[in-house]
Amino acid sequence: MKTTRYRLYFFLAISCLAGYSWIFLNFFISSSHLKAKLNVCLFKRVTTIPCPSCGTTRSVLSLINFDFPTAFYLNPLGIIILPALLILPFWLAFDILTQRQSLFSFYEKFETAFKKKRLAIPAILIVLIIWISNIYKGL
């Protein structure tokens, strides 16, 4: 099924809303006992092995606090997620208000580029390295 502009923008808007909500919740909870219960990683709950994205929330929170080494250690994906959370809402609003589809065009070009082996294979390897690192660190 081909992604439509409406579906993509809806998915990104919901993802940003969920991301901001999750970060807000984790940022303001001080109890470590309560934070431990907030683990929603289904993969980790079922297998007890951290997934490739385990530690991303803590990484984003470290970036918000300008603790770049900790953010990179926890999960380098946070370095991608935070800018996306900061840029996407404005890009979505711009496209909707001006009735353009620049974000959708960017998505289509990005998707086409990653269908090529020369980009897909290194991206998969990076995710595998992050996953192995997460397992080693016991996140």
pLDDT the model gives residue 27: 75
Q: What is the pLDDT of residue 50?
A: 86
Contact 6, 101 (CB under 8 A): no
Contact (CB, 8 A) for 43 and 51: yes
**Residue written as token pair 């993509």:** 8
Average pLDDT along the chain: 86
Per-residue pLDDT at 15 exceeds 60: yes
Q: Averaged over 131-139, what is the pLDDT?
A: 86
- What pLDDT does residue 45 have? 80
Confidence (pLDDT) at 47:
84
pLDDT tens-digit series, residues 27-64: 777 655 555 566 667 788 888 888 888 888 889 889 98
| Ordered alpha helix ranges (H), the chain | 5-28, 32-37, 42-47, 56-64, 68-74, 78-98, 102-113, 117-137
